[in-house]
Amino acid sequence: MRAQKLSVGKAVKPIDLETRLTDDHHQALKLWLRLLSCTNLIEAEIRNRLRAEFGITLPRFDLMAQLERHRGGLKMSELSRRLMVSGGNVTGLTDQLEKEGLVTRADDPVDRRAYTVKLTPAGRALFTRMASAHEQWVIELFSGLTANDKTQAQRLLAKLKLHVAGAQATQ
């Protein structure tokens, strides 16, 4: 998110999740909201670039990414689980991608009530181009950090992830 300009030319702080914090808030809450703010800013930029460069939405990109990882295709229910969206959402995304010739949907040989979705050769070629651009965008967006900064952040977030996963396991 870019800073907004006042009519007198002064930059204003962008409005995001952190703007509601005060010095009295706990450090953990500040960190949580900083993580969310960074995630939202990066995701918004990736969404904008996918739409501008490829005319595709992030959910459609994500569905294609799942299919790229599973060359044999995935059942609609498995796509729904992996994308953490409803079956109806997956059906809508699949319908759009199928109309564009990027995926095919076939009856599942094991379960007659299910469909398996696969990337077409055109879908695979497009995804390869999009994935390459996506990787470069992420590299660019993180270029404000040194290699050491990125390593340290990754290490600290891995530690946090293990702690949170451990806390969930004990519940």
| pLDDT per position as a tens digit, 116-166 | 999 999 999 999 999 999 999 999 999 999 999 999 999 999 999 999 988
Query: Is the pLDDT assigned to residue 45 strictly greater than 50?
Result: yes
Which residues, 6+ apart, have CB-to-CB distance to 133 below 8 Å?
49, 53, 54
Predicted confidence (pLDDT) at residue 7 exceeds the cutoff of 50: no
Query: pTM of the full predicted structure?
Result: 0.80
pLDDT value for 160: 94
Interatomic CA distance for residues 92 and 123, integer angstroms: 17
Domain locations in the chain as residue ranges: 1-55, 56-141
pLDDT band at 22 (very low <50, low <70, confident <90, very high): low
Task: Supply 20's token pair.
Answer: 């509601």
SS3 call for 171 = coil
Q: Using CA atoms, how far apart are residues 95 and 53, in angstroms rounded to an integer?
A: 22
d(CA 37, CA 145): 17
What is the end-to-end Cα distance of the chain in Å, rounded? 38
pLDDT digits (tens, 9 = 90+) for 90-104: 999 999 999 999 999
Residue listed under structure tokens 């962008």 = 14
Residue 4: predicted pLDDT: 41
- What is residue 26's three-state secondary structure? coil
User: Which CATH number fits the domain 56-141, given the four candidates 1.10.10.10, 1.25.40.80, 1.20.1730.10, 2.40.50.140?
Assistant: 1.10.10.10
pLDDT value of position 13: 55
Residues 6+ apart with CB under 8 A from 114: 75, 76, 77, 107, 108
